A = this chain, B = another copy of it.
Amino acid sequence: MSKQELTLTAPPAAGCCAPISSAALDAEQAAAGAAAFKALADPVRLRLLSIIASAGGEICVCDITPQFDVSGPTISHHLKVLREAGLVDCERRGTWVYYWPIPERIQWIAGLLATPINPG
């Protein structure tokens, strides 16, 4: 599946919930949100996501791994968690795997935390 097709696909939970500042979440919504936040609750994963999201397109895993002091398998594990959370996707091409962010999913999580700024 090409990157183009993927970014046109709505993420599973898009539009699920109003921001927490406007309505309380029910138990099911809270479980979905907490699972997404759990994917971001690790320093290596959050930094990985920031590297992928700020790459301006896609990025080769060969350009990601050297930025960390941890092992390749550890990076692979964290990339898998981000992928399972729907925050990034990837494609193998020859020797290397290329990653790109899923902005709709990141926006969904950010939207949960949206608050009115200087209301009135």
Would you call A113 an interface residue if the criterion is a C-beta within 8 Å of the partner chain's C-beta atoms?
yes
Inter-chain CA distance A47–B83, complex, in Å, is 25
Chain B residue contacts of A46, Cβ below 8 A: 20, 25, 30, 33-34, 37
Q: Which of A8-16, A48-56, A90-98 contacts B (4 or more CB under 8 A)?
A: A48-56
Name the 9 nearest CB pairs between A and B, nearest first: A110-B113, A20-B50, A30-B47, A38-B41, A37-B40, A30-B43, A25-B50, A37-B41, A41-B41
Q: Is A114 an interface residue (CB 8 A)?
A: yes
- Of B30, B42, B67, B101, the residue contacting A34 (CB under 8 A) is B42
CB distance from A61 to the nearest CB of B (A): 15
Contact B34 A50 (CB under 8 A): no
A108 CB → nearest B CB, Å = 9
